């Protein structure tokens, strides 16, 4: 009985500590707004989309909920590599870049479907087609580059 | 019996508590609900998925059993996933035994998505004869193999290489997969063959604009069928066991996935009834975490 009580106490402490740690990690995380530099060649993958794929139109173009749904999907599946605001991360480039924002919805959809497997981006065809189009709507809604955060002036 | 059950529940609780403590950040998994079949989707690079699975099986002429395994699945690259398993089982009115480990690797040879997508699978198994997880059914595996007591069965050591060709397609939200299996016990045994077929689909294809746990897009339903195909000397369905199993998976936004599947034996050589369930959690950025621990780039 004593052993069970000890084990329960240890488990509960671990769980409590994990919740506190998760919260503190969230609050300590600085806003990731400075986009890391990426070789522009990475965006050339978009040019590899076949013409037929590039010319596809987004069937959810007029869906008023597509951007909101796409934002949730982005946070769940893409933010880990592309950054929480799609500003780019250690593993993947910014999606605010002109190359992405000027690409056709069809080209972005094609990249989502096929990935860039040899360069680390997995295929996302496991997301059903409507969800990939919702992601495209969100990505196209991001707009141009994120302005860099100015460092605070030193205190006198 | 009750004390043993309590101990296992406590161990499970301890495992997930420690796991939550060590890995507070999780990614939403978008998993298919298969237990035996594999699709062509690999683990995202740098992510670790920790999974616990159970199989309860009925046994004619013997004791029912509960077999379980823990699986650590790591996305080494976008084209290579590696997994490590630890297996065990409890046979009621007999004993609980550790039955061995497995190391599995899956490789995606093609860069792009095609109508049919192949994945190569290579696995090394180091297990004993008491293994009952039924992660795959091969050769002339039949229900009566499990009649041997654990004490006797665990004396047999099996070193096995298993190869699979996974062919998987996704069409209009449906995933269809076909796995062909060839396994060779590295002692003097012939090649054995088996198969698994699966189909699954999320209950909704469009994502909701609101965060939700019970939205239909978080549930994936499907069915899988698997069985042995004999060995090199006697290929075919003769003296093999065959199963059909409906599946349901629930991908929670918190990064957990729950799966459940009742399975039914399709012939007299099969266990009449299997119930499988599993819980898994995907941890994003595990590779980077380990890299930082050993002084990798910040």
Q: Is B41's Cβ below 8 Å from some Cβ in A? A: yes
pLDDT at residue A145, rounded to an integer: 67
For residue A76, which phi and psi values (nearest 5 degrees)? -75, -35
Is the model's pLDDT at A90 over the cut of 60? Answer: yes
B112 with A17: Cβ contact below 8 A: no
Q: How confident is the model at residue A78 (pLDDT cuts 50, 70, 90)?
A: very high
Q: Is B9's Cβ below 8 Å from some Cβ in A? A: no
Residue ranges in chain B assigned as alpha helix (H): 2-22, 150-153, 286-293
Q: Which residues are within 8 A (CB) of A87 and not within 5 positions of it... i.e. 6 or more apart?
A: A32, A33, A34, A35, A94, A96, A146
pLDDT at residue B243, rounded to an integer: 98
Output the six-digit token pair for B13.
């609780």
Nearest CA in chain B to A74: B28
Nearest CA in chain B to A6: B10
A14 with B17: Cβ contact below 8 A: yes
pLDDT at residue B1, rounded to an integer: 45
Is the model's pLDDT at A59 over the cut of 70? Answer: yes
Residue B115 · residue B78 · CB < 8 Å: no
B21 with A15: Cβ contact below 8 A: yes
Task: Put residue A36 in one of left, alpha, beta given phi > 0 → left and psi -120 to 50 → alpha.
Answer: beta
pLDDT at residue A143, rounded to an integer: 83
Cα dist. B69→A38, B199, B235, B292 in Å? 42, 24, 30, 30
Tens of pLDDT, residue by residue over B24-63, are 445 566 788 999 999 999 999 999 999 999 999 999 999 9
- Residues of chain B numbered 13-32 and touching chain A (CB < 8 Å): 13-14, 17-18, 20-22, 24-25, 27-28, 30, 32
- Minimum distance, in Å, between the CA of residue B11 and any CA atom of chain A: 9
B205 with A25: Cβ contact below 8 A: no
- List the one residue out of B226, B248, B284, B203 whose CA is nearest residue B27: B284
Query: Where in B22-61 does DSSP place strands (E)?
Result: 48-57
Q: Where are the domains of chain A?
A: 1-30, 35-140
Residue B260 · residue B3 · CB < 8 Å: no
Question: Given 2.40.50.140, 3.40.50.1970, 1.10.760.10, 3.30.1180.20, which CATH number is that of A35-140?
Answer: 1.10.760.10
Choose among A66, A68, A120: nearest Cβ to B78. Answer: A120
Q: How confident is the model at residue A80 (pLDDT cuts 50, 70, 90)?
A: confident
Q: Which residues are within 8 A (CB) of B274 and not within 5 positions of it... i.e. 6 or more apart?
A: B55, B56, B57, B58, B134, B243, B245, B262, B263, B264, B265
Is the model's pLDDT at A47 over the cut of 60? Answer: yes
- Minimum distance, in Å, between the CA of residue B266 and any CA atom of chain A: 30
- Residues of chain B numbered 268-297 and touching chain A (CB < 8 Å): 284-285, 288, 297
Nearest CA in chain B to A17: B21
Choose among A7, A14, A128: nearest Cβ to B202. Answer: A128
Choose among B24, B45, B288: nearest Cβ to A18. Answer: B24
pLDDT at residue B14, rounded to an integer: 53
Selected residue of A74, A82, A128 to mutate for chain B interface (largest B Cβ count, 10 A):
A128
Q: What is the ipTM of this complex?
A: 0.84
pLDDT at residue B297, rounded to an integer: 56
pLDDT at residue B230, rounded to an integer: 97
Look at B90 and A33; give whichever has higher pLDDT: B90
Q: Report pTM.
A: 0.83
Is the model's pLDDT at A12 over the cut of 60? Answer: no
What domains sit in chain B, N to C, each tagged with a CATH number?
2-293 (2.40.160.40)
The rounded distance, in Å, linking the Cα atoms of B33 and B247 is: 6
B24 with A21: Cβ contact below 8 A: yes
Give contacts of B285 with chain A, Cβ < 8 Å.
Answer: 80
Q: Which residues are within 8 A (CB) of B116 and not within 5 positions of it... i.e. 6 or more apart?
A: B167, B168, B169
Counts of helices then strands in chain B (DSSP H, E):
3, 12
Q: Is B46's Cβ below 8 Å from some Cβ in A? A: yes
Is the model's pLDDT at A57 over the cut of 50? Answer: yes
- Minimum distance, in Å, between the CA of residue A22 and any CA atom of chain B: 5
For residue B129, which phi and psi values (nearest 5 degrees)? -70, -10
Look at A38 and A154; give whichever has higher pLDDT: A38
Q: How confident is the model at residue A25 (pLDDT cuts 50, 70, 90)?
A: very low
Q: Is B174's Cβ below 8 Å from some Cβ in A? A: no
Residue A26 · residue A82 · CB < 8 Å: no
pLDDT at residue B11, rounded to an integer: 54
Task: State whether residue B174 is helix, strand or coil.
Answer: strand
Q: Is B78's Cβ below 8 Å from some Cβ in A? A: yes
B13 with A11: Cβ contact below 8 A: yes
Nearest CA in chain B to A26: B25
Choose among B22, B79, B284: nearest Cβ to A80. Answer: B284
A128 with B20: Cβ contact below 8 A: no
Q: How confident is the model at residue A11 (pLDDT cuts 50, 70, 90)?
A: very low
- Residues of chain B numbered 121-160 and touching chain A (CB < 8 Å): none
Give contacts of B284 with chain A, Cβ < 8 Å.
Answer: 80
Token pair 């995380």 is found at A29
B170 with A125: Cβ contact below 8 A: yes
- Minimum distance, in Å, between the CA of residue A119 and any CA atom of chain B: 8
What number is the average pLDDT over the span A24-41? 52
For every one of its 298 residues, what pLDDT tens digit does chain B have, with 9 covering 90 and above?
A: 444 544 554 455 455 545 544 444 455 667 889 999 999 999 999 999 999 999 999 999 999 999 999 999 999 999 999 999 999 999 999 999 999 999 999 999 999 999 999 999 999 999 999 999 999 999 999 999 999 999 999 999 999 999 999 999 999 999 999 999 999 999 888 999 999 999 999 999 999 999 999 999 999 999 999 999 999 999 999 999 999 999 999 999 888 999 999 999 999 999 999 999 999 999 888 888 888 888 765 4
pLDDT at residue A125, rounded to an integer: 94
């Amino acid at each position: 009985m004593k052993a069970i009580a000890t084990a329960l106490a240890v488990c509960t402490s671990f769980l409590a500590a994990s919740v506190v740690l998760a919260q503190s990690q969230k609050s300590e995380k600085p806003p990731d707004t400075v986009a890391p530099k990426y070789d522009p060649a990475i965006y050339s993958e978009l040019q590899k989309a076949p013409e037929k794929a590039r010319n596809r139109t987004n069937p959810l173009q007029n869906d008023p909920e597509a951007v909101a749904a796409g934002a949730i999907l982005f946070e769940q599946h893409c933010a880990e590599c592309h950054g929480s605001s799609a500003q780019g991360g250690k593993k993947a480039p910014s999606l605010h870049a002109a190359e992405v924002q000027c690409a056709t919805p069809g080209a972005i959809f094609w990249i989502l479907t096929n990935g860039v497997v040899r360069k680390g981006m997995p295929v996302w065809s496991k997301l059903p087609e409507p969800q990939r189009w919702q992601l495209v709507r969100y990505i196209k809604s991001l707009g141009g580059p994120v302005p860099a955060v100015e460092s605070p002036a030193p205190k006198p | 019996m009750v004390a043993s059950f309590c101990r296992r529940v406590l161990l499970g609780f301890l495992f997930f508590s420690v796991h939550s403590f060590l890995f507070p950040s999780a990614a939403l998994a978008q998993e298919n609900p298969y237990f035996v079949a594999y699709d062509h989707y690999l683990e995202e690079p740098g992510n670790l998925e920790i999974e616990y699975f159970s199989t309860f099986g009925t046994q004619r002429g013997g004791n029912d059993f509960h077999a379980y395994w823990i699986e650590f699945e790591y996305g080494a690259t976008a084209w290579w996933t590696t997994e490590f398993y630890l297996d065990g089982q409890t046979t009621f009115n007999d004993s609980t035994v550790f039955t061995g480990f497995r190391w599995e690797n899956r490789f995606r040879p093609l860069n792009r998505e095609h109508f049919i997508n192949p994945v190569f699978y290579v696995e090394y198994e180091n297990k004993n004869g008491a293994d009952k997880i039924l992660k795959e059914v091969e050769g002339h595996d039949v229900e009566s193999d499990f009649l041997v007591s654990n004490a006797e069965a665990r004396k047999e050591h099996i070193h096995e290489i298993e190869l699979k060709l996974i062919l998987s397609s996704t069409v209009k939200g449906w995933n269809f997969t076909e796995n062909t299996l060839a396994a060779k016990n590295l002692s003097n045994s012939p090649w054995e063959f088996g198969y698994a077929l699966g189909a699954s689909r999320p209950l909704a294809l469009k994502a909701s604009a609101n965060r939700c746990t019970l939205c239909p897009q978080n549930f994936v339903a499907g069915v899988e069928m698997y069985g042995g195909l004999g060995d090199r000397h006697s290929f075919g369905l003769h003296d093999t066991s065959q199963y059909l199993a409906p599946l349901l998976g629930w991908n929670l936004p918190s990064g957990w996935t729950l799966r459940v599947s009742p399975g039914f034996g399709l012939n007299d050589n099969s266990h009449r009834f299997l119930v499988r369930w599993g819980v898994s959690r995907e941890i994003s950025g595990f590779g980077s975490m380990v890299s930082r621990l050993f002084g990798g780039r910040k």
